[in-house]
A and B are shown apart, each in its own frame.
Chain A
């Protein structure tokens, strides 16, 4: 999470590399105490996923309920707002995943 518009501009250009990727959950957990910028989202889910191209990534898992989550669950990438955005800040976006 950066407040530099230049960093956001540079990073957003590589976001497309993570679009339309599918894979599965290797390990997941529920975060009950989150860091600054994520406090309003707790509890939320995070995990390490493996995409079809065998690359792995730590990601937030969204649009799901705890009872649906399991190792091996098929997921796909989505673009979402990163964390809490203050009024005068640049909006940061990132890749998250949701169950297919």
Chain B
């Protein structure tokens, strides 16, 4: 598979009180159009990843909503797969090009979260879980805390290893001016930040964020252009308690295996990755499920510095969900953008040297959807 990335655009991520969802969509999409040097009349279809806007604001019909903001009359689709909405939108856009229907497709991921109180956002996000979980008084921090506890019980993973993940991602974010939290933190600060659900603290958790990212995908790949070499998705039981194990994301394992086959690469060929660190334990699980290290070794792998900028396999150079921010529908698109910029050598202070193959992993819920992309130049 060879799908060209013709252009990219991204807004600042953060608490953007002065910006509406409309502003974010227009900003990211226009930047992508300018970057691609394509006139908007060349866009054949639009896909927008968004999870919560309909629920929070009562504005649905987001496909046509986004197309009309940009002044284009094209087939327009809103894709929802919880926090994997953006990644799934990219996947579907690719499928539409592979099907031969469209030449150039605009993919937008956008989420406006700070207009509403956090208790309402937590409840909204729990739409990604199951009724059984909602009835148990569980939230996403709660579900990931259970996964963290299971990992600690089985493999002896430590709170310091969890914290090291957040510390690394904050370091990366300190080099990214678009990040929500562009500053460093210490292990001690993570451990001493308030407990949300044990063992996860406030600083083990990704924040509530406004932001949008956009990319333009093309059937043709120009020389020196980054292209998508693999796009794979898998689903799993929505219900954490119904899974075979709490310490593995089967959907990630299946999607990763497919993606490696499609791109004809192995985990050791990956030069950098953007993974779904909604909570620190999620990045540890991702390292294992993507095959970067042995099962149970994810905490140690991160703590050793292997995935820090300058290490063998830099992970979440954007700052990840933790420190760049997590506007849920935008995250999967932002991950593609981060890797594309890195492969083109446009990442400034956080540039990874000699990178030619990158991977993204975007998760919905506690692993009921997982989307894996591999990019090359």
- Which residues of A are interface residues toward B (Cβ below 8 A)? 1, 26-39, 41, 44, 46-48, 56-60, 71, 82-83, 94-96
Contacts and interface: CB of A to CB of B under 8 A. Distances in A.
B119 A36 contact: yes
Contacts of B354: none
B23 interface: no
Contacts of B123: 35-37
Contacts of A59: 136
Residue among B195, B198, B199 with max Cβ neighbours from chain A (10 Å): B198
Contacts of B241: 48, 56-58
8 closest A-B pairs by CB: A38-B137, A56-B241, A94-B135, A58-B136, A36-B119, A36-B123, A58-B241, A48-B241
Given A36-B122, A57-B132, A30 B198 contact: yes
B260 to A, nearest CB: 31
B120 A34 contact: no
Residue of A29, A41, A56 ringed by the most chain B CB atoms within 10 A = A29
B125 to A, nearest CB: 9
Contact of B150 (A27, A39, A44, A82): A27
Nearest to A93: B135
Contacts of B305: none
Interface string B194-232: 111111000000000000000000000000000000000
B268 interface: no
Contact of B122 (A35, A44, A60): A35
A8 to B, nearest CB: 12
A58 B246 contact: no
Contacts of A96: 136
B329 interface: no
A37 to B, nearest CB: 8
**Max chain A Cβ within 10 angstroms of own Cβ: one of B133, B136, B146, B197:** B136
Q: Determine the main DSSP class of B at the interface with A.
A: helix
Contact of B246 (A27, A33, A34): A27
A37 B122 CA distance: 11
Interface of B: 119-120, 122-123, 126, 130, 132-139, 141-143, 145-146, 149-150, 153, 194-199, 239-242, 246
A27 B137 contact: no
A46 B137 contact: yes
B197 to A, nearest CB: 5
Contacts of A35: 119, 122-123, 126, 134, 137-139
Contacts of A34: 137, 139
Nearest to B139: A35
Contacts of B195: 30, 32
A79 to B, nearest CB: 12
A40 to B, nearest CB: 11
A39 B119 contact: yes
Contacts of A30: 195, 197-198
B351 to A, nearest CB: 38
A5 to B, nearest CB: 17
Contacts of A36: 119-120, 122-123
A31 B199 CA distance: 10
B86 to A, nearest CB: 24
Contact of A31 (B135, B142, B239): B142
Nearest to A59: B136
Nearest to A41: B137
B122 A46 contact: no
